[in-house]
Structure 1
Amino acid sequence: MRAHFAVGYFFLSGFKAIADQLAAVQELRLLIGNTSDRATIEQLAEGHASREAIIAHQREGEFLNAQQRAKLVAEGERRIRERLERLDQTDEDQALVTELVRLISENKLKVKVFTRSRLHAKAYIFDYPANRFERGIAVVGSSNLSLAGLRDNTELNVVVHGNGNHEQLLTWFNRLWDEAEPFDAQLMNQLQSSWALDESVTPYELYLKVLYHLTKDRLEEPDVPMPADFPPLADFQWAAVKSGIRLLRLRQGVFIADVVGLGKSFVAAALLKWLKVRERQRALIICPTPLVKMWRDRFVDRYDLGAGVLSMGMLSQPNFAFEEERYQNKQLVLLDESHNFRHSDSLRYDRLFQFVRSLDLPVVLLTATPRNSRARDILNQIRLFNADDRIDLGVEPRSLGKYFKLVENDERPLPPLLQYFLIRRTRKHIREHWPDAKVDGRPVRFPVRNLKTIDYSIEKTYGGFYKTLRNLIEPPNPDKKKNVGMTYARYGLHLYVVAAKKDVAPYNDLVRAGQRLHGLMRTLLFKRLESSVEAFRQTATRLIERHKIFLNGLDDGVIIAGEGVEDLLKGVEEGDSENADLRTELEKLSQKYDPADFRLADLRRDVTADMATLQEMAKHVEPITPDKDAKLQRLLKWLDAEPLLRSHKLLIFTQYIDTAQYVTEQLRAAKVRPPETIERADSSRDDLQTLVNRFAPIANEAKAPVKNPIHLLVATDVLSEGLNLQDAALILNYDLHFNPVRLIQRFGRIDRINSPHTEIFAFNFLPELELERHLGIRAILRERIEDIHQTIGEDAAILEPDEQLNADAMYAIYEGDGKRLEAIEDDMDRQVDLEVQEAEDLLRRIKRQQPELFARITSLPNAIRTAKSMGSAGVPPAAVGVPPGASSYPVIFFFGQAGDFQRLWLADAEGNILAEDNHSSIAAITCPPTEKRQPLPPQYNALVTALKAKFDQQYQDYLAAGGTPHRLTASQRWALDTIRDAYKQAAALLTQTPETKDMLTRLERLRSLWSVSPLDGRVEFALRGLRNQKPALDDAIKRLESLAFEHKLDVLAERHGEISKLALEPAIICTEALI
């Protein structure tokens, strides 16, 4: 028997229903209709188009050129592929695909696509054997070859008998068959490359496919033109701009967190320029005081960014208010050096938070050091643009607060969450993934870093009293028979509150503040002791005055707490973490307390003793003049002898203003260089940009020859952030490094993209004692590390991470091991390594260097599977949370998606979900290109089918809880929330009038229109403007309807309709057995 089917659509479900009956068929010719023109003629007719227009459209389909026919064939192949991807992964369906391939290969099944026009008629024609009188029989009607078409009782079909009828139908079919395009090869290709038959997919290819799907929106986002008046950017910088635009739309905020020297400011300025030109958004730039002039002159004015610039220091001023028009008319905020807003309990954070949240402004955060903040500090910055606790970002739990709590307890990694908000690349990353990057036609390169150590005697510096002073800084310890030392009673008031009041407000807050202040003050004294004689002398003098004032207050019946903040913080830069910590804790104490609630006698005794201790310290350092200052004299000797200084400028860094002023004065007095070429840069100067231009005129593009150029600049860390100083190739760090972060930040001032220098140098002062002079550097470092442990001790835990001791880094720095320091820096960066960022750039590199592999990955169909050995690494139970006693072999990796709803799971053989976060799942499937494919385990189809059912249910639960299938912008979420509120209000009315029902219908329609994703940029801009106006509910609904009509969202919804319906169906992207 031979058969001839002419159908509009071909569904595997329909073929499956008749598969058993095809055994007796010698040949089946299957003619599939052209579905790409679906319903076009009907739509024309419903739109009351003229008869001529309808006929003309119909004729267009009858005269297609070869390219048009090929396009229709490709469309048919795409549809077959999509149906195969969504075919249930059961043994029965796998056998069905196998049978189809057999029939095609044996020439029993032949398939063509009719491309001339839509195949309206459906006919199933059967030829009887030659020995029968009747030549055949046919069924003609409305049924397609689908399960619904064969079984649905709404279809209408008629059985046609008679040889004449059979001959006419066969003639009709043959005419169409001859006009149709062959489709056997395309169908065979899709069947053989489907999950059911393709056993060629390697574990590495599946791993890359997962990465591709996670980064597809980044890789395929349309290019955005840059205004011609902005300077050229490197490819990796422009990629960051595009990612920033996308993340701002999706998340309302983005961290631009490339390491120092990669041009974050240019990326941010380009982003602001694009937003101003394309979306008419004007920004408010908030930055540290030293960067205000840089932002205004170098970016805002030069490139017409239309932005305002505000010093973050202004936010701490008593009379400052964001209510002024020049702030209220901005559409987004750029926060430079955003780590300065890591403390949510500071005044400036509270003011900024209230401002951005009241206007619902997007926020761009610039910082090179997200890794140096505690988890809660990063959370505080995220809260500036993401006030909602609920998140749906492929991490568990889906609560910001709960997730960060787990991070703090080392139960969750931070990168899986950060990757949804943060753009970060390191030098190593650029070298690996963007090796051909260029800026303005020049290849991107970085200078080689060199580390050198300068030792000096700290014992001689303090006239033999160093150990005495260090002993006085440390608290008394009766257990060790140590009766002298600072008690820091002035900063530990909680210890003196009477027992009945300790747990009562406001004293219950004193405990934490007091513990932190105790440690911070102890550390402050120790670090200034090492920095310079002058810094320690000034600090002791100030503290003596503060203690006198406190004791006078006790005489007057007043507890002075938190007063004199500015006086105490003299010598510490505004942006310094030491300043931020002290300011925050002291502000907490700035309130009046009742002296009756304290043990005043004990408090007076200990504060008096501390003042006496400070006076003893001051007595020891008072006689030390510059000529007796061994550290200063060592610097002068080095300046005279270092050959590199003959041809290079020098930047001397210190943490403290007192040290900077002292060193500058002494260098001028010693006339190591002409006095006018020696300058100091700290926050007490109001001409910082002028100093920078005099020191680095080339890097800062000075418009005219510089008068009085600077060759030796002494600076605090006010210059360690955001400024370009790469005219210099040398830096000298006058203070001891506890931690590599300051060194890395300072190196970043001269280690910039396309520095004029092939090598740069960092010289680092290292203190030693007289007894240690015969020891090697490693032994001396051991002694210094022990000093730090002994002096700061348990208080180290309260320090910011960038202030805490990093012994490995200290060895690397002072032993001059640049490679080891770079490895430590890379290890620190792993704390915020972004899998999605790495994946995106890995795939970009593969696309450039291995185009065949990239084409293979992007062409792999969904639902594919493979298997690999767990190997020696395996899937650590602790890492993925395998329940005790659970069967863990094989472990199944499952990737499901519906719209933008994605889930990556690891499950055991019983279907128990072992891990629900992307990080663990990706780690489990990561493998090298050489990884061998293993055979799939028995019952694999059943395991995958069970997981697919769980995924389907989770997706339905997600939708029922108010989730949306597409990623929505913040403005879209506002629109849908507004519509939802209006719907609830209308539905709650007791009397449901026709008008009310009509309103509910209108709101449902409006909800569907504003759910379309992605929105056109113009629509998004208009919607954001409406949202910022905060209209009343009724007015908002009217204007949403007006915007939907104006921007033809109904047409957009229709255009997205068919594709969206299929894309929203839960589907398997891929699976893998780990055995």
Structure 2
Amino acid sequence: MPRIFDNIEEHGHFIEAIQRAVQDAYRADFCVGYFNLRGWKAIADGIERWAGGENACCRVLIGMQGRPEDELRSELTLFGEAPMMDNATAVRLRKQHALSLRDQLTYGAPTNQDQAALQQLARQLRAGKVVVKLYLRHRLHAKLYLFHRHDNFTPLIGYLGSSNLTFAGLSAQGELNIDVLEQDAAQKLVRWFEGRWNDRFCLDITDELAAIIEESWARPELIPPYHIYLKMAYHLSQEARTGQAEFRIPPELDEVLFDFQKNAVKVAAHHLNKRGGVLIGDVVGLGKTLMATAVARIMEEDFGVDTLILCPPNLQSMWQRDYVERYRLRAKVLPTSRAPRVLPELKRYRLVIIDESHNLRNREGKTYRAIREYLQINDSMVVLLSATPYNKTYLDLSSQLGLFIEEDHNLGIRPEQLLREIGEAEFVRRYQAGINTLAAFEKSPHADDWRELMRLFMVRRTRSFIQNHYARTVEDGRKYLPMSDGTRSYFPTRRPRTVSFDLDGETSQYAYLYDEAVVDVINHLHLPRYGLAGYLAKGADGQATPAERALLANLSRAGRRLMGFCRTNLYKRLESSGQVFLWSLERHILRNFIYLYALEQGLPLPIGTQDAALLDTRTNDVDVEAPEADAPLFDDDEETEEEERENGRLEIGDWGIEGRSDGLRAQAKEVYNLYRSKGVRRFKWLPAHFFTPRLAEHLRADADALLAVLMQCGAWRANEDEKLAVLLQLLQERHPHDKVLIFTQFADTVTYLTEQLHARGVQKLAGVTGESADPAALAHRFSPRSNHKHVAPEEEIRVLVATDVLSEGQNLQDCHIVVNYDLAWAIIRLIQRAGRVDRIGQLADEILCYTFLPAEGVEKIIKLRARVRQRLQENAEVVGTDELFFEDEGSDRVILNLYNEDAGILDDEEDNDVDLASYAFQIWQNAVAQDPTLERKIPALPNVSFAARRHIPLPDAPEGVIVYLQTQLGNDVLAWVDPTGRIVSESHFAILNAARCTADEPALERAPYHHDAVRQAITTLVEAQRQNPTGGQLGRPSGARFRTYERLKAFADRQRTMLWGERYEERGLYRAIEEIYRYPLRPTAIDTLNRQLKSGISDEQLADLVLDLRAEDRLCIVSDDSEAEGVRIVCSLGMV
């Protein structure tokens, strides 16, 4: 009686019969439709004992199978029978099948058992124990297993059925097979098999199959760790490599661009074309403007677009003359400040370049809104340019990206670090934002999340990165870039130098100002004007008009942060210049007296904006207490040119009334009356009775404390200013003929220095601040060679005193001497200042960077700063990242290093500030340049490949495995896991750097836990997605998906309590609601639902509509959760 195997009965599994038959046989013939290489382990041990050769082997015949839809199409073809097989077609099909067998080994996660079984199969193929042929004459669906035995009664045993040579086919349910023991039938099956085996279109693929295994992750020899490291870099640089091949730079620009610039241009063009926007964020001096020009020309030539360039007013002429006209751009240059007035009526430009885009951080500003609206209406591509893409927080980045990315746009990536920290469900509950959106990233404080986001949109390289990867080195160690004309552009060495001045001398004016008593006065100021919310009378909100209530609410949101800025700014001005500090005190007193006058007279108080950015010395160089600061301080939006001409700039006069309370009070009355007459529209006003008497008390106390400081110090004597005298000596004795660029944070210091230096005979001197009418013209006179300007010798500037606001976009490299007149608070600021003159094309061997520091040492400065910092923390005037009041937590170390003139302190940022694609691409390029054979070897290295290298464990870098995965959407996932599979790190930069090794790094045997750790990492990463692939992404409350889900969920809950509720359950309403929550709606469904929701559709009609859409598969894009959510293993590296 024949026996049936259905894999259901306990002892009816087909695999058990096959395994027994192998043990009793000396050779076998299999015909299958599909050969799972990993499934061979089920019978490998039984075949291992066979001798091999023609009569002692297993012959495997693989039939050529097509997809059901292909077979149906072939049967119903309108052109008669399918074409006959020929040699060329057979060769092509053989190659296709070999590729499919190769791809088969890249699926799933490896195991120790699979690796051993595949290596065993490769050995058996090479030894002739297994021979594999591919039958190509026609499709072959038969599944036949024949075993030849040394048995007189049943020398042949056959099995016929549905099971392929796979583990599932041999053991899983749903298969049906029968044994063939009758010898006549068995012999007929043998003849049938031999006929196919010997067919001319049955091709031997034994050697190819062995090679496929030997070249796969299961290969017997060890893969060099260096190759796995390069495979990571190769795949991480995919976008950069694609850009290199995708775009061609116009010849006239190709001639002037350096290689590093060409690479950036092509990567930026790729990002722009793929995602509609890119941020070119190279550090100062690397040629971002020229790179943006090249990108614009590529877009012009490839897509026929015109370009709009938005830039600061002082850069308009440079853009027009040096780039638009020189490189024949079809472009219009528009000052950013004119955007609100011009853009609404401007024609469509399909490409918009925004220079110094970091200035567009305020999403509520009129300029930001106008630009964003223009970009949305015209669907323009956007190129953002900024050397400082974020200033204080990562929100600076998202604000710039938000110009062209909608908050709810699916980016295809998620803030994984944040989601791992709080969980996806908690994220949705807290924020009601899609987890794949820009809004989601804005909630993350983790740098790795932001790096992953910027990987899609930013190209950024540092000076050190260019030096390390693109520069050539001469014998003396100097590095240079070769110019197109054959000359060399050297990278100069940055030399920190200290300029000492007397702080504690008996006659020093600074001795009193740097006394702890003065710092204590600053620390104990109430600063009530910056914390008005703390002085509101009870019931003020009830008495206020709607406009006043909005202003009161804004007061409550500001407060202590503004007080913190004000307190530190006073101290920074003290460290800048004694005269500037005293001016600030006088102005502060005057402002207090203005408020006191209003309160005493019962008049409305002028309320300024609560924008802390105006008090931030990194972006604003004007003293907010000065009269010229009134316009920006007391008006949230830009004023029209007509209004500005009408009102004037509130010139109030000289406030140099030292220590005289009566004089300042009289001045305060005049200023207040001027505000009420000419400046009324520049202010917001609140009635005096809204505030308690304590406001006047604290205003008076602060004024008295500061007046006491003025009285003690007296009038500032510039002729006894030790710091000024040392600067004069530097300019007239140490560098009497060299060009010198003097930097300060404050416009007042620029004014003081230019006046005093000019009075002391310094010629060819100029000062420039953010308020200067034409900073570019002064920059050209100071640095004519590098700006290609002809300037008469008598018109040339030798000494330029400037604030940091000047630094945007100006080329000042005719100079190689930089003086930091203010004491350093942040090393990044000193590096950026050096970058203003250390640009491509600098001719000097050295950049001298002088910094003023006390001759007695820096301990006193450090101690005084610590007192200011402590006061801010005690008053809770520092919140989270607002510690950037000090700009650098390590500022004390910066001072010490500068005082000791430590070499290297002014070197550029680390390479981890480079965008990941450029970083990985450079690793790849460097490797290929050293060994061109790698260009073929590494791409040929199959997925799932692994290696192991020696590693010294550390607390944050334990022994384990680095796993590199790619999701179905093509997103890269790098994870460092410990031996248990627990994720230690997901930082791409940290992991890539940890994997870094050289070509001679020895390969080690993998750890026994290697494959298990990889599998566990995949499980952990995929499970987080499987819990809710797109769940929680219901979008905005006004969106179709959110509204439909909320209404149907409430409707379904009501139906459950009614008698006829079962009919909705039977029709699948609850499943439809679940799908709406889990999966995105189809675009057509969104349009249909939006129309019906707008028309007022009832809940019952909405339910019927959704059910109809679902029945026709027109509701949601339901993803397939198979194959581990589409995750593929690229490679892994054991750290043992």
1:979 aligns with 2:1084: yes
Deviations 1:938-997 (A, max 9, x none): 576566556555666555555564999xxxxxxxxx998633414656999978999999
Aligned match of 2:943 in 833, 839, 862? 862
Aligned match of 1:604 in 688, 696, 715? 696
> What SS class does the counterpart of residue 683 from structure 1 fall into?
coil
Deviations 1:849-905 (A, max 9, x none): 23345644333222234455652325458xxxxxxxxxxx86785746435255444
Deviations 1:243-293 (A, max 9, x none): 323434555543322221222222223223323433345554443332232
Equivalent residue for 1:593? 686
Residues of 2 paired with 1:223 and 1:213: CA distance? 17
Residues 50-199 of structure 1 correspond to what in structure 2 (within 5 A)? 61-63=86-88, 69=91, 74-86=95-107, 89-90=110-111, 93-112=114-133, 170=194, 173-176=197-200, 180=203, 183-198=205-220
Equivalent residue for 2:970? 900
1:696·1:727 contact (CA, 8 Å) conserved in 2?
A: yes
- Deviation for aligned residue 1:604: 2.6
Equivalent residue for 1:656? 746
Deviations 1:559-612 (A, max 9, x none): 52434999x989989655987999998768964334333223x43344345445
Aligned match of 2:1129 in 1054, 1063, 1068? 1068
Residues of 2 paired with 1:596 and 1:953: CA distance? 60
1:520 aligns with 2:581: no
Q: Cα distance 1:703–1:623, how it changes in 2: closer, same or farther (>3 A)?
A: closer
Residues of 1 paired with 2:220 and 2:885: CA distance? 51
Equivalent residue for 1:440? 484
Residues of 2 paired with 1:338 and 1:754: CA distance? 25
2:59·2:132 contact (CA, 8 Å) conserved in 1?
A: yes
Residues 432-581 of structure 1 correspond to what in structure 2 (within 5 A)? 432-435=468-471, 438-440=482-484, 445-457=490-502, 464=509, 466-468=511-513, 474=519, 476=521, 486-498=525-537, 507=552, 509-510=554-555, 513-532=558-577, 535-536=580-581, 538-563=583-608, 576=621
1:694 aligns with 2:772: no
1:189 corresponds to which letter in structure 2? A
> What SS class does the counterpart of residue 279 from structure 2 fall into?
strand
Q: Cα distance 1:219–1:163, how it changes in 2: closer, same or farther (>3 A)?
A: same
Deviations 1:463-516 (A, max 9, x none): 636515867854549xxxx9xx85433333344334777999765653563323
2:468 corresponds to which letter in structure 1? E
Residues of 2 paired with 1:993 and 1:530: CA distance? 70
Equivalent residue for 1:808? 893
Residues of 2 paired with 1:107 and 1:190: CA distance? 16
2:622·2:747 contact (CA, 8 Å) conserved in 1?
A: no
Deviations 1:361-394 (A, max 9, x none): 6544332234652344444444444453776247
Equivalent residue for 2:679? none
- Deviation for aligned residue 1:224: 0.8
1:425 aligns with 2:506: no
Residues of 1 paired with 2:496 and 2:793: CA distance? 31
Equivalent residue for 2:903? 818
- Consecutive unaligned residues of structure 2, counting only runs of 5 or more, are 1-25, 420-434, 473-480, 543-548, 637-681, 1035-1078
1:891·1:908 contact (CA, 8 Å) conserved in 2?
A: yes
1:299 aligns with 2:323: yes
Residues of 2 paired with 1:457 and 1:257: CA distance? 41
1:473·1:526 contact (CA, 8 Å) conserved in 2?
A: no
Equivalent residue for 1:324? 344
Residues of 2 paired with 1:210 and 1:98: CA distance? 25
Residues of 2 paired with 1:287 and 1:358: CA distance? 20
Residues of 2 paired with 1:963 and 1:564: CA distance? 36
Using the size of structure 1 for normalisation, the TM-score is 0.75
Residues of 1 paired with 2:571 and 2:619: CA distance? 20
Q: Cα distance 1:127–1:810, how it changes in 2: closer, same or farther (>3 A)?
A: closer
Residues of 2 paired with 1:254 and 1:597: CA distance? 49
Residues of 1 paired with 2:963 and 2:491: CA distance? 40
- Deviation for aligned residue 1:751: 0.4
Residues of 1 paired with 2:234 and 2:603: CA distance? 66
Q: Cα distance 1:789–1:363, how it changes in 2: closer, same or farther (>3 A)?
A: farther
1:215·1:839 contact (CA, 8 Å) conserved in 2?
A: yes
2:762 corresponds to which letter in structure 1? V
> What SS class does the counterpart of residue 559 from structure 2 fall into?
helix
Equivalent residue for 2:223? 201
Aligned match of 1:227 in 250, 254, 260? 250
Equivalent residue for 1:1043? none
Equivalent residue for 1:1044? none
Q: Cα distance 1:17–1:269, how it changes in 2: closer, same or farther (>3 A)?
A: same
Residues 1031-1070 of structure 1 correspond to what in structure 2 (within 5 A)? 1065-1070=1126-1131
1:293 corresponds to which letter in structure 2? S
Residues of 2 paired with 1:10 and 1:577: CA distance? 76
196-205 or 700-709: which moved more? 700-709
Deviations 1:600-656 (A, max 9, x none): 3x43344345445555666778854654444333333332212x543x422232333
259-268 or 865-874: which moved more? 865-874
2:415·2:444 contact (CA, 8 Å) conserved in 1?
A: no
1:788 corresponds to which letter in structure 2? R
- Deviation for aligned residue 1:524: 3.1
- Deviation for aligned residue 1:923: 7.0
**How many percent of aligned residue pairs carry the same amino acid?**
27
- Deviation for aligned residue 1:330: 3.7
1:873 aligns with 2:954: yes
Q: Cα distance 1:314–1:635, how it changes in 2: closer, same or farther (>3 A)?
A: same
1:419·1:835 contact (CA, 8 Å) conserved in 2?
A: yes
447-456 or 536-545: which moved more? 536-545
Residues of 2 paired with 1:465 and 1:218: CA distance? 55
> What SS class does the counterpart of residue 314 from structure 2 fall into?
helix
Residues 626-637 of structure 1 correspond to what in structure 2 (within 5 A)? 626-637=718-729
- Deviation for aligned residue 1:750: 1.2
- Deviation for aligned residue 1:783: 2.2
Q: Cα distance 1:43–1:225, how it changes in 2: closer, same or farther (>3 A)?
A: farther
> What SS class does the counterpart of residue 122 from structure 2 fall into?
helix
1:333·1:364 contact (CA, 8 Å) conserved in 2?
A: yes
Residues of 2 paired with 1:86 and 1:47: CA distance? 34
- Deviation for aligned residue 1:184: 3.0
Deviations 1:120-151 (A, max 9, x none): 68696969689999999999999976678889
- Deviation for aligned residue 1:200: 0.6
Residues of 1 paired with 2:945 and 2:1133: CA distance? 9
2:782·2:800 contact (CA, 8 Å) conserved in 1?
A: yes
Residues of 1 paired with 2:759 and 2:1104: CA distance? 92
1:449·1:761 contact (CA, 8 Å) conserved in 2?
A: yes
Equivalent residue for 1:407? 445
Residues of 2 paired with 1:593 and 1:373: CA distance? 31
Residues of 2 paired with 1:448 and 1:500: CA distance? 64
Give the RMSD, CA atoms, in angstroms.
5.3
Residues of 2 paired with 1:836 and 1:90: CA distance? 31
Residues paired across the two proteins, number: 960
Residues of 1 paired with 2:287 and 2:1103: CA distance? 62
1:454·1:763 contact (CA, 8 Å) conserved in 2?
A: yes
1:340·1:575 contact (CA, 8 Å) conserved in 2?
A: no
1:456·1:634 contact (CA, 8 Å) conserved in 2?
A: yes
Residues of 2 paired with 1:225 and 1:976: CA distance? 39
